[in-house]
């Protein structure tokens, strides 16, 4: 049960980071926003893989 809760937590964090990435990239008129968008997207992908791993087992 604890592993499933951890997977759901990671999934929520991944969704929030994906939203940050979309918002940053949607209004990316400067290099700073591109950097934030790319970093948030990378972290969202990493958290999603952790969530998938936790929910699979």
CB atoms near residue 36 (< 10 Å): 17
Q: Which pLDDT band holds residue 44 (cuts at 50, 70, 90)?
A: very high
Please determine, for residue 3, whether its predicted confidence score (pLDDT) is greater than 80: yes
Q: CA 47, CA 43: separation in Å to the nearest integer?
A: 6
- Express as a percent the part of the chain with pLDDT over 70: 100
- For the chain, what are the domain ranges? 2-56
**Mean pLDDT, range 32-49, rounded to an integer:** 96
Residue entry with tokens 């008129």: 29
- pLDDT of 25 reads 92
Please determine, for residue 57, whether its predicted confidence score (pLDDT) is greater than 90: no
Encode pLDDT of 21-35 as tens digits.
999 999 878 888 999
* Rg (alpha carbons) of the chain, rounded to whole number: 13
Query: Residue 7 in contact with residue 51, Cβ under 8 Å?
Result: yes
Residues 6+ positions from 16 with CB-CB distance below 8 Å: none
């Amino acid at each position: 049960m604890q592993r499933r809760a951890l997977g759901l937590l990671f999934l929520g964090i991944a969704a929030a980071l994906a939203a940050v990435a979309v918002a940053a990239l949607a209004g990316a008129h400067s290099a700073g926003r591109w950097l934030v968008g790319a970093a948030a997207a990378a972290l969202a992908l990493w958290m999603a893989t952790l969530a998938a791993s936790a929910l699979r087992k």
